[in-house]
Amino acid sequence: MIPRMINGLLDIVYPKTCVICKKKIKGRGSIDNVICAECWRKVKKNLPPFCLRCGRNLHRNKSVKNICVACVKKPPHFDRAFSPCVYEGTIKELIHEFKYKNKEHLGATLSRLMIEFIKEYNVPMEFLDLIVPLPLHKTRLREREFNQAEILSRHIAKEFNKEMSNDSLIRHRYTRTQTELTPDERIANVKDSFLVQKPEIIKNKNILLVDDVSTTQATSSEAAFALKESGANIVFVLTLAN
Domains of the chain are 1-40 (no CATH), 43-241 (3.40.50.2020)
pLDDT at 30: 78
* Cβ 172 vs Cβ 138: under 8 Å: no
Report the 10 Å Cβ neighbour count for 84.
25
What does the alpha-carbon distance between residue 113 and residue 92 come to, in Å, rounded to a whole number? 13
One-letter amino acid identity for 48?
P
Q: Phi/psi of residue 60, each to 5°?
A: -55, 140
Report pLDDT digits (tens) over 179-196.
Answer: 666 667 777 777 888 999
Report pLDDT digits (tens) over 25-34.
Answer: 876 667 888 9
In 53-105, where does DSSP find H-type helix? 69-73, 89-100
Q: Phi/psi of residue 130, each to 5°?
A: -150, 140
What does the alpha-carbon distance between residue 97 and residue 197 come to, in Å, rounded to a whole number? 31
Give me the percent of the chain exceeding a pLDDT of 90. 64
Span 88-99, mean pLDDT?
95
One-letter amino acid identity for 198?
K
What does the alpha-carbon distance between residue 190 and residue 175 come to, in Å, rounded to a whole number? 6
Span 47-71, mean pLDDT?
86
pLDDT at 12: 38
pLDDT at 26: 75
Give, for 64, the enclosing helix (H) or strand (E).
strand 63-64
What does the alpha-carbon distance between residue 200 and residue 189 come to, in Å, rounded to a whole number? 28
Per-chain mean pLDDT for the chain: 88
Span 107-127, mean pLDDT?
97
Span 228-234, mean pLDDT?
97
* Cβ 16 vs Cβ 24: under 8 Å: yes
